[in-house]
Chains A and B, each alone.
Chain A
Amino acid sequence: MPRDEIPPGTLHLLILKTLAREGEMHGFEIAEAIERQSDDVLKVEEGSLYPALQRLLVKGWVEAEWGSTAGNRRARYYRVTPAGRKQLNAALAQFHRVTGAIVRVLQTG
């Protein structure tokens, strides 16, 4: 089944949303969650998750801590910060405004 690329700029939004819903996750889990929730429609170049996570760290929207996986392996777990949550809400609101408008335009006539 062909998969569509993630529109540019939305990867941050997807990561934040996923973390906000699921709590703490490491990178692989985030990738899995995004792909699962989009019914595999969205194709993530999985590695691009990591630069994105670093950017979110720089912005202070997520924080990270090293821990152990179920299989007792060292992994870095990410969590949304309050600033990240604020950003997520703002971004979601904007996203809905824009997509809503686009949908309205497309459905007219």
Chain B
Amino acid sequence: MGVLAEIARRLRALASRSRIESEVSEEMRLHLALRQEQLVREGLAHDAARDAAQQRFGNALRLREEAVDAWGWRWLEDFVHDLRYALRDLVVHKAFSAVAIATLALGIGANAAIFSVVNGVVLRPLPFPEPERLVQMYGWSPVFGREPVTGLVQVRSESQSFEALVGYEVGARYVRGSGGSERVMAVRTELEFFSMLGVPPFLGRTFRADDSPMAVVISERFWKRRFGGDPSIVGRAIVLDDRPCTIIGVMPESFDFPYRSGSRLSSTQTDGRLDLWVPLDVQIRPRGRIGQVTGRLKPDVSVQAAQNELSVIAKRLESEYPPAARGRTLQIVPLSSAIVETSVRRPLYILFGAVGLVLALACANVTNMSLVRMTLRSRELAMRVALGARPSRLVRQLLTESLLLALVGGCAGFAVAWWITSQLMTVIATRIPRGQEVSLDGHVFVFLLGACALVGLAAGMTPAIAVLRRSKGADVQPLLQESDGHASMGVRQRRIRDTLLVAEVALAVVLGLSAIGLVRELIRLRNTDMGMVTQNVVTFHIGRAGLYGSDGQEFYEIADRVSRLPGVRAAGFTQLLPLQNWGWNSNSSDFFVKGQAPRQPFFPIELRFVTPGYFQALGIPIRKGRGFTDSDTRNAPGVVLINEALARRYFGDEDPVGKQMNRGTIVGVVGDVRQVNIDRTAVPELYTPIAQNWSHLPQLGLTLVVSARGSTEPLIDAVRSVVRDVNPVLAVFNVMSMDRVVQSSLADFTLYLSLMAFFAAVALVLAATGTYGVISYIVTSRAREFAIRVALGADSVRMTRLVLRQGLGLTVLGLVCGLGAAAAATPLLRYAPMTIRQPNATTIVPVIALIVVVALAACVVPARRAANVDPVSVLRQE
């Protein structure tokens, strides 16, 4: 309270500085008068008494200043003064200011942008009440790794740790409308879903324990898209999968749980967002499986404690499973880390690190520029020291200047951040979980301010320390005496300057190597043999309600009619298009030769359901035996195809064709296809004809693959009308060329690549301007020496070489350091979101060449200036 009162007193006094001044003056006058009178009484003459009184009093002027300063505005006045001076300086030195501000704006802005992503995705708590109590439950088995949860019912009845435990599945639903069907992303969930999460609806209400399976909660986005934001939506009917349902509520735009599940099926019209939530229409059976489970722990129950209890329950459940499922356990992880997995976190941190390097570069650059400028100003500074300015005052002024610079740069940086973030948002909103929550919020702003302060201090400190060092002791004199107006740097400053430049080049090398490593990787990936032909291939997603259990005959008809369209080479269906089955799987380990025991150890086999034309449409070669034909019908003997990976793994050198398996006779072996992503070699795959697996037809629909002789563009409408003709209820969506599919499977990669390339480009520009600044400073400060050299007969070639040697010497040193740093950082590559090979000659050489060329370019201008120096005019200036 004492402090507050003191501040209040100071603030009041702030408003009345002149009053305090006059009051103190009056007191002092009285004091002097009284003293004088006293001395006169003691016998001194009037004038002598006045002098004596003044002598005893001391320097009245200084004391009055001191008295007023007691109220503490000294710093404020100084600050305003410094600020005004700094502003004027900023305006006068336009070139310096512009370069410094642009540099800082890029550095700070890029940092704030990446921070906004890290903040929105990783740091900000989940937008649910008490998010730390929310956990995600996974099943885990030695064969499949993570899998759906088995035994939820038992866990719920036996466990004491959970307040709620809710199972749900993400899947597709079809909404009937006037223009045909639309596929929407739906969550089928147990009724406690919303109350467990604790998020209120935007309109209406969420599920209650007594809700019928016909209740629907829709997303705000779907509400706007489908119903035009009709405010009287609650209570309206909606036909989902041919069943009339009732809309009971609308969830706000920000709600998209489970995150990213919309984009699991990377092909909906929904931007990867969820459209609606419906009650799970079947009871989970005691030993049944459920895709996803989220729970809320009771207060004061730790994740570890709950996990321990869960392990005990899972252990007991395991004994009841068939042998193929032995080793199954249940795991829980905090919901936040389940949503933003390490695979998302790490690349973000790497990016953050990279952008941090960019900021460090910007900082080094500005420091160097300030250092150079301070040297040019050293006469002014020395003058001020000579006139009695305290060194701390000068330091404060220099810091004010650099802080102002950083702040202005930060403001511009905010614009940069806004731009970068808005660019990033278009990509990450659907690709990174919680991506849509990224925004420039208060935290980002604080981060930005913090970055400004840090940069300002860092960039101001070095020159300030240099001033302190110089102003100590006697070397003010020589400074003042330097005749050319440009004092040169001290050895120490030169060393700092050169070190910073070397560091800049080194950082540019590291970022450049990363970027070019990514480019090389991208080229390699694009040239990878994917085991299929993607040119002139177009894909369609086709589905409808009630597919599950239909015989799939309509798909055979569509494939058949489409393949006979003019210009079409082949057409066929699959349930999972290669490179598009992100997060979606359909696998089994249940595969053995009839009459033999299943071969151990079990391993997962990906299941594919296709129509005969599929292999030809994607150019997948039949290596052995035959492909499927139209005569492999529902009633014909069961047949399967396996890929080479499965053939190798299960049969080794044995010929698999003709083997009688539990799933049918192997009639052929097809080529391996990169199914999961371009960089993952093929996993074991088993193909069966859709006709013989009609009971597996997924609600999600199937993908039609059409390969054309020429352009696919004209075929699209023809295919649509064939589909409409076969069954008008079928929804056709997400028409995409196979090349696009490949491309978007690389979207994450491309995103990181373009960011990295952007950072590297910025780093290169910074290193170039840094080099330019230093070299041109050297040329300026050595003008006299150069003039003398020229006067003594050095020709321009010689002069140019002199300057270039200096610049390139530093560059080469930077290159060496950069390569060393890159080599030291190579182990970090493991954490990159994609495989990146270590730098080798083909990556290193271009980077080095580029940097040398840029450095040369940066040196050439000042070098030419040195070469063309006119000795007469320079020397006359002296």
A residues touching B (Cβ–Cβ < 8 Å)? 26-28, 31, 45-48, 50-51, 53-55, 57-60, 69, 73-76, 83
Judge if B50 is at the interface, Cβ distance under 8 Å.
no
Partner of B58, one of A26, A48, A57: A48
| Nearest-neighbor residue (CB-CB) of A75 within chain B | B30
Q: How far is the CB of B70 from chain A (nearest CB, A)?
A: 4
Task: Find out whether the CB atom of B67 lies under 8 angstroms from the CB atom of A51.
Answer: yes
Q: What are 17 contact pairs spanning A and B, CB under 8 A?
A: A26-B27, A27-B27, A28-B30, A31-B31, A45-B56, A45-B58, A46-B57, A47-B57, A47-B63, A48-B58, A50-B64, A54-B24, A54-B68, A58-B6, A60-B2, A60-B5, A60-B6
Q: How far is the CB of B7 from chain A (nearest CB, A)?
A: 10
In residues 13-56 of chain B, which contact A (Cβ within 8 Å)?
Answer: 13, 20, 23-24, 26-28, 30-31, 33-35, 56
Task: Find out whether the CB atom of B71 lies under 8 angstroms from the CB atom of A58.
Answer: yes
Judge if B66 is at the interface, Cβ distance under 8 Å.
yes
By a CB distance below 8 angstroms, the chain B residues around A47 are 28, 31, 57-60, 63
Judge if B10 is at the interface, Cβ distance under 8 Å.
yes
Q: How far is the CB of B522 from chain A (nearest CB, A)?
A: 67
| Nearest-neighbor residue (CB-CB) of A59 within chain B | B6
By a CB distance below 8 angstroms, the chain B residues around A75 are 27, 30
Task: Find out whether the CB atom of B2 lies under 8 angstroms from the CB atom of A55.
Answer: no
Partner of B67, one of A45, A50, A59, A60: A50
Task: Find out whether the CB atom of B28 lies under 8 angstroms from the CB atom of A54.
Answer: no
Q: How far is the CB of A47 from chain B (nearest CB, A)?
A: 4
In the A-B complex, list the 10 residue pairs whose CB atoms are closest, starting with the nearest. Answer: A54-B70, A47-B58, A51-B66, A47-B63, A51-B67, A45-B58, A47-B57, A54-B67, A55-B70, A28-B34
Task: Find out whether the CB atom of B64 lies under 8 angstroms from the CB atom of A58.
Answer: no
Task: Find out whether the CB atom of A26 lies under 8 angstroms from the CB atom of B64.
Answer: no
Task: Find out whether the CB atom of B63 lies under 8 angstroms from the CB atom of A50.
Answer: yes
By a CB distance below 8 angstroms, the chain A residues around B69 are 51
| Nearest-neighbor residue (CB-CB) of A31 within chain B | B31
Task: Find out whether the CB atom of B70 lies under 8 angstroms from the CB atom of A58.
Answer: yes
By a CB distance below 8 angstroms, the chain A residues around B10 are 58
By a CB distance below 8 angstroms, the chain A residues around B5 are 60
Separation of A46 and B31 alpha carbons in the complex (Å):
9
Separation of A106 and B33 alpha carbons in the complex (Å):
44
Q: How far is the CB of A83 from chain B (nearest CB, A)?
A: 7
Separation of A77 and B369 alpha carbons in the complex (Å):
56
Separation of A28 and B56 alpha carbons in the complex (Å):
12
Task: Find out whether the CB atom of A27 lies under 8 angstroms from the CB atom of B31.
Answer: yes
By a CB distance below 8 angstroms, the chain B residues around A69 are 30
Separation of A8 and B772 alpha carbons in the complex (Å):
54
Given A57-B9, A75-B30, 10 more contacts at CB 8 Å? A48-B63, A50-B31, A51-B67, A54-B24, A54-B70, A58-B72, A60-B2, A69-B30, A76-B26, A83-B2
By a CB distance below 8 angstroms, the chain B residues around A73 are 30, 33
**With A47-B58, A54-B24 known to touch, is A27 a contact of B72 (CB < 8 Å)?**
no
By a CB distance below 8 angstroms, the chain A residues around B34 are 28
Separation of A14 and B5 alpha carbons in the complex (Å):
24
Task: Find out whether the CB atom of A60 lies under 8 angstroms from the CB atom of B9.
Answer: yes
By a CB distance below 8 angstroms, the chain A residues around B23 are 76
Separation of A51 and B60 alpha carbons in the complex (Å):
11
Separation of A24 and B24 alpha carbons in the complex (Å):
18
Separation of A27 and B2 alpha carbons in the complex (Å):
25
Task: Find out whether the CB atom of A46 lies under 8 angstroms from the CB atom of B58.
Answer: yes
By a CB distance below 8 angstroms, the chain A residues around B57 are 45-47
By a CB distance below 8 angstroms, the chain B residues around A46 are 31, 35, 56-58
| Nearest-neighbor residue (CB-CB) of B70 within chain A | A54
By a CB distance below 8 angstroms, the chain B residues around A48 are 58, 63, 66
Task: Find out whether the CB atom of B30 lies under 8 angstroms from the CB atom of A50.
Answer: no
| Nearest-neighbor residue (CB-CB) of B13 within chain A | A58
Interface centre among A50, A55, A60, A83 (most CB of B within 10 A): A50
**With A50-B63, A54-B24 known to touch, is A27 a contact of B30 (CB < 8 Å)?**
yes
Q: How far is the CB of A58 from chain B (nearest CB, A)?
A: 6
Q: How far is the CB of A37 from chain B (nearest CB, A)?
A: 17
| Nearest-neighbor residue (CB-CB) of A30 within chain B | B31
In residues 311-340 of chain B, which contact A (Cβ within 8 Å)?
Answer: none
Interface centre among B31, B33, B71 (most CB of A within 10 A): B31
By a CB distance below 8 angstroms, the chain A residues around B27 are 26-27, 50, 75-76
Q: How far is the CB of B515 from chain A (nearest CB, A)?
A: 58
**With A51-B66, A60-B5 known to touch, is A28 a contact of B24 (CB < 8 Å)?**
no
By a CB distance below 8 angstroms, the chain A residues around B30 are 26-28, 69, 73-75
Separation of A76 and B70 alpha carbons in the complex (Å):
17
Separation of A69 and B26 alpha carbons in the complex (Å):
14
Partner of B9, one of A28, A53, A58: A58
Separation of A51 and B63 alpha carbons in the complex (Å):
6
Q: How far is the CB of A18 from chain B (nearest CB, A)?
A: 15
Task: Find out whether the CB atom of A28 lies under 8 angstroms from the CB atom of B67.
Answer: no
| Nearest-neighbor residue (CB-CB) of B56 within chain A | A46
Q: How far is the CB of B711 from chain A (nearest CB, A)?
A: 84
Separation of A6 and B28 alpha carbons in the complex (Å):
20
Separation of A74 and B33 alpha carbons in the complex (Å):
12
| Nearest-neighbor residue (CB-CB) of B53 within chain A | A46
| Nearest-neighbor residue (CB-CB) of B31 within chain A | A28
By a CB distance below 8 angstroms, the chain A residues around B63 are 47-48, 50-51
By a CB distance below 8 angstroms, the chain A residues around B67 are 50-51, 53-54
In residues 230-287 of chain B, which contact A (Cβ within 8 Å)?
Answer: none
Separation of A54 and B456 alpha carbons in the complex (Å):
35
Q: How far is the CB of B41 from chain A (nearest CB, A)?
A: 13
Separation of A73 and B58 alpha carbons in the complex (Å):
23
Interface centre among A46, A53, A73 (most CB of B within 10 A): A46
By a CB distance below 8 angstroms, the chain A residues around B9 are 57-58, 60
Separation of A31 and B38 alpha carbons in the complex (Å):
13
By a CB distance below 8 angstroms, the chain A residues around B28 are 27, 47, 50
**With A47-B57, A74-B26, A83-B2 known to touch, is A54 a contact of B35 (CB < 8 Å)?**
no
By a CB distance below 8 angstroms, the chain B residues around A55 are 70
In residues 385-444 of chain B, which contact A (Cβ within 8 Å)?
Answer: none
In residues 70-111 of chain B, which contact A (Cβ within 8 Å)?
Answer: 70-72
By a CB distance below 8 angstroms, the chain B residues around A26 are 27, 30
Interface centre among A47, A73, A75 (most CB of B within 10 A): A47
Separation of A47 and B31 alpha carbons in the complex (Å):
9
Separation of A45 and B10 alpha carbons in the complex (Å):
26
By a CB distance below 8 angstroms, the chain B residues around A27 are 27-28, 30-31
Partner of B70, one of A31, A45, A51, A83: A51
Q: How far is the CB of A49 from chain B (nearest CB, A)?
A: 8
Separation of A54 and B73 alpha carbons in the complex (Å):
13
By a CB distance below 8 angstroms, the chain A residues around B68 are 54
By a CB distance below 8 angstroms, the chain B residues around A28 are 30-31, 34-35
| Nearest-neighbor residue (CB-CB) of B72 within chain A | A58
Separation of A55 and B6 alpha carbons in the complex (Å):
11
Separation of A69 and B200 alpha carbons in the complex (Å):
75
By a CB distance below 8 angstroms, the chain A residues around B24 are 50, 54
| Nearest-neighbor residue (CB-CB) of A45 within chain B | B58
By a CB distance below 8 angstroms, the chain A residues around B35 are 28, 46
Separation of A57 and B594 alpha carbons in the complex (Å):
101
Q: How far is the CB of B55 from chain A (nearest CB, A)?
A: 10
Q: How far is the CB of A71 from chain B (nearest CB, A)?
A: 9
By a CB distance below 8 angstroms, the chain B residues around A76 are 23, 26-27
Q: How far is the CB of A41 from chain B (nearest CB, A)?
A: 16
Q: How far is the CB of A56 from chain B (nearest CB, A)?
A: 9
By a CB distance below 8 angstroms, the chain B residues around A51 are 63, 66-67, 69-70
Q: How far is the CB of B638 from chain A (nearest CB, A)?
A: 96
Separation of A47 and B62 alpha carbons in the complex (Å):
10
Q: How far is the CB of A76 from chain B (nearest CB, A)?
A: 5
| Nearest-neighbor residue (CB-CB) of B5 within chain A | A60
| Nearest-neighbor residue (CB-CB) of B33 within chain A | A73
Q: How far is the CB of B20 from chain A (nearest CB, A)?
A: 8
| Nearest-neighbor residue (CB-CB) of A66 within chain B | B23
| Nearest-neighbor residue (CB-CB) of B71 within chain A | A58
Q: How far is the CB of B61 from chain A (nearest CB, A)?
A: 10
| Nearest-neighbor residue (CB-CB) of B69 within chain A | A51
